[in-house]
Structure 1
């Protein structure tokens, strides 16, 4: 298993325990990955040499100075990418140089311990801690000399950072890259007066919190930064760290925080001026318009209100040329800020902010702050006619257009929100960035917005909106009017499939081709390559002999129609024009598993049994296909989705893979080959070497399925047995389908069709041992009576249904046991109650 690719950074290989160890792959073996400066194209000896010149820098080791929330998160990300990381922080003030390391490193050690317990997890695997060494900034500062990249993540105070960089100038390696994680301080000011060679290698690298999960990485060079280093860090962030890298100018708060500060302030100010409630604003500014559920005020509580206030105070004097800065000094907002700070209501970290979780009548309720009285009001459900009418409209851009054209209170709020945002975006180009693409990507990657400002503007109509914007006091930049006057109606040009091909550049007064990495394949961009579709799944010709099977059901759930499209994929795979099959999709989730449709039971078990048999036969056919089948797995791969992933010849998994056989949570057992496959993976290797250890492997498979365990990452999926050491993990989600295609074609060069191997069934004694474990769990209160009933069904499958002694059995024997247990369980009243509860609440029922 390899993590990421190169750029001179170590790949990571996992053993059966899931522990990681760095392995440096020679550049020449990975030069194909970079075939030119953007990573596009196929390899040739000539562009290998060109790529090697362009990738003169390598990052095998790093030092992070500052072990707080951001520093620790950055260290965790680097360690997860296989980079040996030194994490430093100040020693405790009451310690002395002669004290032991445990005393001197108390601060960094405590922060590292907290990092390991963080929720959501900051580490891809607990084993990543092996890649992190700790120290303090007095006794261990010289160790920074061994780092290829030094990242500063200390307190956001200019003089503190400048003093640190002055010290670093004396110790860092002459080849090292040095960067600051500042969220808005001028990059040039941090190295004023420092040696030119140090300044040449210095730039800003602004991660967004939490670094593991948020895709945006802002790269901010200053005037003296070597352009080769800037280019390298843009590629390194993209290729190795899996980030969406955005080039920013050295302007206050860069792109992401500049926009969030100003648009967030405008959203609050308008609410205060026009009497909108906290709950109304969060309803209007969340998923309805393609933003996260945290919306506006909930996001403030998550970040911390004190931080938002500090950002506003620091930003105002830093942008005297920006007329919109007066938003930061809004009298009503200033009074609100003072009141909340005085009360210590800073958000989730203090228990109160714009929301307060209260216990009423034995249950928790989220009360919202009344912006007028500063009292908390009980939960309410805001209603707007426009929202009721248009909330289900697709695509998102059309929904936003209809909402902002509505005349009710909801429509007026959303109109002014967007009028400010879009006009402001036009005014900040080219001040803070030369590219509208960078503005849109910063919103999407840094704050999980589905559309950026200029994409929204295209959707609602640029020419149609400008007159209204300016009439209402939202001035639009002159270059937008020039664009329209020249006959260019949109900021982006698109092909027949709707994929962006070019974008408008104000400096060139014309469209510029959008540079694309050929590995960044999307199903949406393959419209003309479709060769089959039944509405549940579609097949596409990926070129070069690769066929793609893409899911298209709601949440990519497994339906009979989707299974039918899988069989069609296998039929086409037999044609000479195809060398390999790739399974993947553009969805937010790979697959949530089987579609839990209670109506399927109305005609009895015959239909259910047929569907199960068909799914089992499909997963077996995929696994033993005559040509390689590579699965591109991402996000959630649950239940039947996990079974399809495990059916592949190989898997290319995104690092953020949450995979598990979760059927026990709805009162069932896996019956698409999942029990058989996990048993084969975890027990067969042990059984081939004798019976010692077989029970441990069996117990691992049993506990993983019985507790519906879901991996917290692709690395954990490997440790659980859902992925194998032959599978590949990639950091960049955008490259997933392209990497899967490349692996599938590589495997096709000398592929030998697999043959089904028998599976080791441990028999009656092992069954008794598992039943004893179930009884212990039940007695300890970890399992209900019905949990135990399901677990006993599972134990019977995994041990071979009461075989008198251990023996090797056919895969079909175990598949039959899976199906038999499933059909029995699905008719149980308590299982049906669990299924119904899951459908109604999206939560498991423990009955």
Structure 2
């Protein structure tokens, strides 16, 4: 059957339920969110009183930071109600998700009601993380069992991309396959098929990792601050590292999962690792449970001068004290290295306590994951996928093992007393040297059951640029252009924060030229943490400080010309941005034929923050789009003013959907891809579709209507008002006036039609004049030193 999900019933509006509802609404799905009638309203006829619990929970979710929704408008898709009055309405739902308290008896009561009202064939799933899925299906009808499984979202659902799908023996395989595909394609999730084992995949491995580190704290005599320095971004893990993560998750939750594994996994060879240390027991007894109680491993206080201060728990004395900077030679040597794989290799090769920690930590983790195949998953890649999507690991555990060398590491593990599973030895004996390998642009994984390498499923939908290194068409030291197949080129670059400098400009021009010669088009994207933080401001600063204005003028001209080359190439150019897409990266997106943006794209023209205006065609593009959006039934200055304010306030869209509202993406042209891993594949498809539909090179615009003095006066008046009210500094006002001058087409006596080049020339002149301002240089220098502009 062709199953469609138009409406979902979410039963339970707590922290998880309300946020799952928000994410579903953000994906364009209608949601019925239900919860209990408050006790005090049991006899009331007032609908608002009876729905107070669910409505308060939804409002609390919407006020939370980070926001659970892509835009506030999606809330219109959520209808609230209560179990008593509205449970019958689940008959109109295509999928029902139970998210009530983690008690089997209460879940069974809810499922009794679901059985009463659901129509046959409706999907029913539970978001439980601690109760075996098969136990919840006991005693239910055959149709219920057939359409029931676990769907374990991670909190917050919008940002943590993992969705574990846990079928029971009675679950129809069609249901499992549908949810795997739907979760990936429609909800933007990394869907991972898990077995119905305690803690499933991500929590089983993640909590083992945390508990094993707790053991190493005592074994090696490490402090909390030292461990968090060792287990954060330096090894490709989130900034919250280990102990901060425990505080965020909740120490009681961590203990509950650990106890659950210890009690229910009698065959786990590392069962003792899940034993709760005495100091952790004491913390639970003291209700030091982390963020939810105001203190855990860390405690926020105020210093003598009223400033915020974070204290760290001393596990020996159980008292809080000032945070201490970790000092390890191995750590200091590895930190400056940008490449994660090289860093990992350096960290395990050191000779100090930090290196001892890294060896024990990795050897224990590697042994543990090897023994979980096939207990929790038949395929090793699912473990890596779960940890990357659920715990924010940059690199999976099996991938880390590959980086350190499987055969070499196994020998060292055995020397240190860590025994991997037998199938590891079998893989090495058969000639397999790694868990993953690349062949013809396809990534393969070692399958322990068949003792062979198999392609990762969905490879065509999940294009990874680096997998095409064997099809490199052109490169320089920072950039690579690949043939992605189907006569489409792909360009990526690897610079710090994806900054756009001379080599990237060269690569864009060269890639466009190559595509024009014999390909259908070009995709510009990458697989790094962020698409790009914008132009290389260090280069701008250097030219300006040394008063090399001719060089700076040339650099800005080249940037502008490259953006126009992208716009007016004879083949389509599609950009696939994600995460930070700022300044020059936003300008590149504005000039592409199409953007296939990940939903989590934070895009904006932020140059005003460093005392400049967008100088790579961004100001020109916003002026041009404002002209195209002007309507006869409203003042012409309204659209221009809105566009001006977006740049003048350095607004950054908090999602790709909000980018449409801010005018950075175009409705009917650009596309949002909820699953970030699919955006490059979608961009490649778009190139082929645009080319095959008969692509015609656009003509440079000569008909851009600018308003001159009639709008300039109004914008200047607004800027002056902001300055007088102290919302803008003197320098803010100067920069804003330069921006207004360009967007209005200069000091023209009346509205006039001008060319794009006319606006680019004005834009460049304003940019260069501001680059020579002392306060602009102070702002740029501040960004280069601290990452934040000074307010001057």
8 Å CA contact retained: 1:97, 1:139: no
Q: What does residue range 587-736 of structure 1 map to in structure 2 within 5 Å?
A: 587-597=528-538, 598-601=541-544, 602-686=546-630, 689-690=631-632, 692-725=634-667, 726-736=669-679
Specify the alignment match of 2:434 in structure 1: 490
Q: Larger deviation: 640-649 or 771-780?
A: 771-780
Matched, 1:429 2:370: no
| CA distances 1:732-788 after superposition (whole Å, capped 9, x unpaired) | 111111111111111112222222332222222322211222222223332222211
Matched, 1:463 2:402: no
Specify the alignment match of 1:777 in structure 2: 722
Q: Would you say how many aligned residue pairs link Structure 1 and Structure 2? A: 785
Q: What does residue range 798-837 of structure 1 map to in structure 2 within 5 Å?
A: 798-837=743-782
**Which whole-Å CA distance do the structure 1 matches of 2:508 and 2:737 have between them?**
32
Q: Helix, strand or coil for the counterpart of 1:543? A: coil
Answer 1 or 2: higher relative contact order, Cα 8 Å, separation at least 6: 1
Q: Helix, strand or coil for the counterpart of 1:488? A: coil
**Which whole-Å CA distance do the structure 1 matches of 2:6 and 2:57 have between them?**
24
Q: With structure 1 as the length reference, what TM-score do the two structures score?
A: 0.90
- CA drift at 1:282: 0.5
Partner of residue 90 from structure 1, selected from 36, 39, 44: 36
Matched, 1:241 2:187: yes
Specify the alignment match of 2:472 in structure 1: 530
Q: Helix, strand or coil for the counterpart of 1:134? A: strand
Specify the alignment match of 2:457 in structure 1: 515
Q: What does residue range 74-223 of structure 1 map to in structure 2 within 5 Å?
A: 74-96=20-42, 98-223=44-169
Unpaired runs of at least 5, structure 2: none
- CA drift at 1:404: 2.5
8 Å CA contact retained: 1:666, 1:835: yes
Unpaired runs of at least 5, structure 1: 1-52
Partner of residue 384 from structure 1, selected from 325, 328, 331: 328
| CA distances 1:452-473 after superposition (whole Å, capped 9, x unpaired) | 2222222223333334434544
Specify the alignment match of 2:487 in structure 1: 545
- CA drift at 1:393: 4.6
Check 1:776–1:287 CA distance in 2 against 1; reply closer, same or farther (3 A cut). Answer: same
Check 1:130–1:430 CA distance in 2 against 1; reply closer, same or farther (3 A cut). Answer: same
Q: Larger deviation: 67-76 or 204-213?
A: 67-76
8 Å CA contact retained: 1:272, 1:371: no
8 Å CA contact retained: 1:555, 1:589: yes
Q: Larger deviation: 775-784 or 819-828?
A: 775-784
8 Å CA contact retained: 1:184, 1:257: no
| CA distances 1:616-650 after superposition (whole Å, capped 9, x unpaired) | 12212222223222211211111111011000111
Check 1:514–1:573 CA distance in 2 against 1; reply closer, same or farther (3 A cut). Answer: closer
Partner of residue 257 from structure 2, selected from 301, 305, 311: 311
Specify the alignment match of 2:791 in structure 1: 846
**Which whole-Å CA distance do the structure 1 matches of 2:617 and 2:682 have between them?**
26
Specify the alignment match of 1:353 in structure 2: 296
Specify the alignment match of 1:46 in structure 2: none
**Which whole-Å CA distance do the structure 2 matches of 1:813 and 1:691 have between them?**
28
Partner of residue 731 from structure 2, selected from 786, 805, 816: 786
8 Å CA contact retained: 1:187, 1:220: yes
**Which whole-Å CA distance do the structure 2 matches of 1:527 and 1:553 have between them?**
17
Check 1:505–1:752 CA distance in 2 against 1; reply closer, same or farther (3 A cut). Answer: closer
Q: Helix, strand or coil for the counterpart of 2:760? A: helix
| CA distances 1:31-54 after superposition (whole Å, capped 9, x unpaired) | xxxxxxxxxxxxxxxxxxxxxx6x
Q: What does residue range 237-276 of structure 1 map to in structure 2 within 5 Å?
A: 237-276=183-222
8 Å CA contact retained: 2:440, 2:468: no
8 Å CA contact retained: 1:535, 1:553: no
- CA drift at 1:244: 1.0
**Which whole-Å CA distance do the structure 2 matches of 1:83 and 1:838 have between them?**
41
**Which whole-Å CA distance do the structure 1 matches of 2:413 and 2:524 have between them?**
45
- CA drift at 1:826: 0.8
- CA drift at 1:603: 4.7
Q: With structure 2 as the length reference, what TM-score do the two structures score?
A: 0.96
Q: Larger deviation: 812-821 or 716-725?
A: 812-821
Check 1:745–1:103 CA distance in 2 against 1; reply closer, same or farther (3 A cut). Answer: same
Q: Larger deviation: 640-649 or 399-408?
A: 399-408
**Which whole-Å CA distance do the structure 1 matches of 2:484 and 2:397 have between them?**
31
Matched, 1:67 2:13: yes
Partner of residue 680 from structure 2, selected from 718, 733, 737: 737
Q: Helix, strand or coil for the counterpart of 1:190? A: helix
Check 1:696–1:394 CA distance in 2 against 1; reply closer, same or farther (3 A cut). Answer: closer
Q: Larger deviation: 795-804 or 388-397?
A: 388-397
Q: Larger deviation: 390-399 or 600-609?
A: 390-399
Check 1:343–1:783 CA distance in 2 against 1; reply closer, same or farther (3 A cut). Answer: farther
- CA drift at 1:266: 1.2
Q: What does residue range 393-472 of structure 1 map to in structure 2 within 5 Å?
A: 393=337, 395-472=339-416
- CA drift at 1:547: 2.5
- CA drift at 1:392: 4.1
Specify the alignment match of 2:447 in structure 1: 505
